[in-house]
Amino acid sequence: MTRRFVSTFKAPKGTYDLLPPESADFLAVREALARPLRRSGYGYVETPGFENVELFARGVGESTDIVTKEMYTLTTKGGDELALRPEGTASVLRAALEANLHKAGNLPVKLWYSGSYYRYERPQKGRYRHFSQVGAEAIGAEDPALDAELILLAHDAYRSLGLRDFRILLNSLGDKRCRPAYRAALQEFLRGLDLDEDTRARIEINPLRVLDDKRESVQRQLTGAPMMRDHLCEECKTFHEEVRSLLTDAGVAFEDDPRLVRGLDYYTRTTFEFVHDGLGSQSAVGGGGRYDGLSEMIGGPALPSVGWALGVDRTVLALRAEGVELELPAATEVFAVPIGEEARRRMFALVTALRREGVAADLAYGGRSMKNAMKSANRSGARYALLLGERDLAEGVAQFKDLHSGEQTSVSLDRVVAELTAKLR
């Protein structure tokens, strides 16, 4: 009877470990989402995994579920109140302000980032307490072309992965000039509904958040609620129409959704979401919008900005829902099998040389038998096995075995690297 050894520890509830081969899909998605940004003038930024609690309370919004229910908070030995970052925008904007990037005279500041984020939510498929995102922010310019650019870049990134069954939802939330009148009209409507105490409190803080409530008991009562599109000022209407026009001209299809508000308090004007109907209730794979007042909320100057965050986890699930197989680079192209101590030393040098030529090469470590080493070669997915034994050393050759066809040939040791590189490239 084989005894199984199990670690005393497990990943915390609502989190996951990424391990090969599955992790290769996540890396490929992360790279595909970032690639269009690097081609479009966005520079990489990385921020700490935790920030001052007040940054998120001010920026994300005290009425949001993220701040009231979902943040992981801690108090340091020095008494500082910190929170694991629940989203990326507030942190990136804080970093840009702290480094005075906005004073360099080259606006907008265009930044992209990738990392893990944390929210204490009820775990379910597509919703975890630890999740991965790629995000982008264009800071310091009030230009509808930036809004359209970011939507277009995300659209093209998804397409490059082979994703087809996603939709883009688009709305405008107005600005500080036209939203107050809409806010008052919406509050008046919502106060007449049969809502629980927490939702009623939200009406007074940020009534738009009630429109984002996913509960059927709430959504059922929202029929006939006033819509922001009917209260937009002329400037906001013009801005929104320009975003729509630019997307249409670029061949990007979208759906107008007058109830789309997203889950964060800082959004103004453009708001958008990428949804995939193959994911069930957790259908959003990414989204974002314009946040023209966020800089001032966290103590900075007026810096109109726009950005998005795309979920790596959700994108992988969407790809699987469509049955898309990603074309991944081979983890191992050549698997080296030495027999004997002298062959092992010589093979180690050959594998090192192959790697330096850009070939993905691995070696049968641990002095395994030829039979076991060849099993590992086949499991590795390599195209070629490189074999070297005592007789081969004496003759100054190594053996190439094509693991697809089974064909085996001898090659001079001093030609191994050149021959294999040529075959693979």
Query: Which residues are annotated binding-site positions?
Result: 87-89, 119, 133, 137, 262, 266-267
DSSP for residue 228: G
Q: How far apart are CA 336 and CA 424, in angstroms?
A: 15
Close Cβ partners of 53 (under 8 Å, ≥ 6 residues apart): 71, 73, 81, 82, 83
Are 240 and 232 spatial neighbours (Cβ–Cβ below 8 Å)?
yes
Are 291 and 320 spatial neighbours (Cβ–Cβ below 8 Å)?
no
Kind plus residue range of the DSSP H or E element containing 402: strand 397-402
Kind plus residue range of the DSSP H or E element containing 43: strand 43-44
Q: How far apart are CA 266 and CA 304, in angstroms?
A: 11
Annotation: binding site for L-histidine: 87-89, 119, 133, 137, 262, 266-267
Q: How far apart are CA 95 and CA 197, in angstroms?
A: 37
Closest by CA position to 16, among listed 134, 119, 128, 133: 128
Q: How far apart are CA 173 and CA 271, in angstroms?
A: 7
Closest by CA position to 153, among listed 115, 114, 116, 112: 112
The dihedral through the CA atoms of 288, 293, 295, 298 has a sign that is: negative
